[in-house]
Every structure is written in C-alpha cells, then in structure tokens.
Amino acid sequence: MTTTLQHPRYTTTAFPPYRFLPGKFPHPVAHPDGHSYLPPGEKEPAVPFFPPENWRESEAYLFGCDLYNHGYWWEAHEAWEGMWHVVPKPSAQRSFLQGMIQVTAGQMQVQLGKAEGVRRLQMTSRRHLEVVLEVVGDGEFMGLGLSDWLRDVATYWDVILAGSRVEHRAGTYPYLRLVE
C-alpha cells in the first residue's frame, strides 16, 4: 500500500523515483542504477547562492522543503547540503542549513530504527538551529516559523524515542510550512 502525503508543493520539480534507504535501494549517486547517478566526468550543476531574505528564489531550498515534507530524507539532505557549501561562514543561514540537514539525517535514523543516531542528531541539530533563534527570536527564517517548528520537532522525537522501538509513523512528523 502506498501512502500519498497531502502537503502543498513549493516547486514543480519531479520527485525521484524512490526514497533512498540504505540496503533497500541503490545508492542514488554512487551506484549506476541510482536515481541521481552521474557518469564519470559529469558534475552536478553548481547551486547558486541566495541570501536568506531571497529564499523564495532558491529552487534548491524549496525543493529540499518538498523532499522533506514528502519523506525523501536523504534527498532533502543533499539538496540543502549543496546550498550549505556556498553559504558564507559563519552565518545564521549556514547554521540554519546545517541544522536542517541534521534534522533530515535524524529522520533517516528513525527510518533505520537507530535510537542513538536520533538522539545525537536531535542534540546537534538543535544546537545549530538555536544559533538562528538567537538572531530571529520568535520570528521566521527563510520562510519558516523556526521556534514553533523546533518545538514540534522536539515533541516528535520525544514520542519516537519514548517507544519500545524507534519507528517512523507516516504523516506524523513536523512538516515545513513556509509563509506565503
């Protein structure tokens, strides 16, 4: 049975044909059958830099949000990591992207049933995102009401980690709802 998540899209970019999960599907970039494999000699296109106030113009950011909201954890991580590489350091935007990357990595750990990985990424993602909270307070950053979303993420992971085993419950994780 396939579950279709009913969440608005921020881009029209097509989703990959599968959500990567180690051991279940070919690695997206390392395996020739991977959904994002590039033959030797070909390189991924460079991700352009967008300042945080221009987040609506960043296809990589918005597609990363779509991927996250629809359970493509590895793929969302990759979309945001491409941005992270071009963002000035240190900056609130870099901390934000690092925190988002770690939240998605935590979601992958949930999928794999690895409680210790979830705990570690819960702490490290929070540290990165708290840097941004110091800048924006209860405001938004890159279209996201960060303090509310972080509260929802903490509640979600507390529920996940309180169970007898770590497992994902489709449709229960905190979605990224960007301002209009």
**Residue 5's pLDDT band (cuts 50, 70, 90):** low
| Domains detected in the chain | 61-162 (1.10.3450.10)
Nearest to 129 by CA among 109, 151, 107: 151
Q: What is the pLDDT of residue 105?
A: 94
Q: Is pTM, for the whole model, over 0.85?
A: yes
For residue 86, pLDDT over 80 is answered with yes
Alpha-helix runs per DSSP H in 20-171: 59-69, 73-84, 92-112, 115-136, 146-162
**Residue 12's pLDDT band (cuts 50, 70, 90):** very high
For 38-47, write each residue's pLDDT tens digit.
Answer: 778 888 888 9
Task: For the chain, give the mean pLDDT.
Answer: 87
Q: How large is the average pLDDT for residues 122-134? A: 94
Q: What is the pLDDT of residue 171?
A: 59
For 136-160, write each residue's pLDDT tens digit.
Answer: 988 899 999 999 999 999 988 888 8
Which residue pairs, CB below 8 angstroms and at least 24 apart, start in 77-82?
A: 77/101, 77/104, 77/105, 77/108, 78/28, 78/36, 80/104, 82/44, 82/47
